[in-house]
Structure 1
Amino acid sequence: MVRRHALLAAGLPAPYSCREGACSACCCRVVEGEVELSRNEALDGADLVEGYILACQALRRGEDRVRITYEG
Structure 2
Amino acid sequence: MVLRQKLPSTASVVHKTSGGQLHSPAAERNSAQIIELVRSSVPESGNALEIASGTGQHIVELAAAVPGLIWQPSDI
User: Looking at CA atoms only, which structure, 1 or 2, has the larger radius of gyration?
Assistant: 2
The structure with the greater share of residues assigned to helix is 2
The structure with the greater share of residues assigned to strand is 1
> Which of 1 and 2 has higher RCO (CA within 8 Å, sep 6+)?
1
Question: Which TM-score band (shorter chain)?
Answer: under 0.3
User: With structure 2 as the length reference, what TM-score do the two structures score?
Assistant: 0.27
User: With structure 1 as the length reference, what TM-score do the two structures score?
Assistant: 0.27
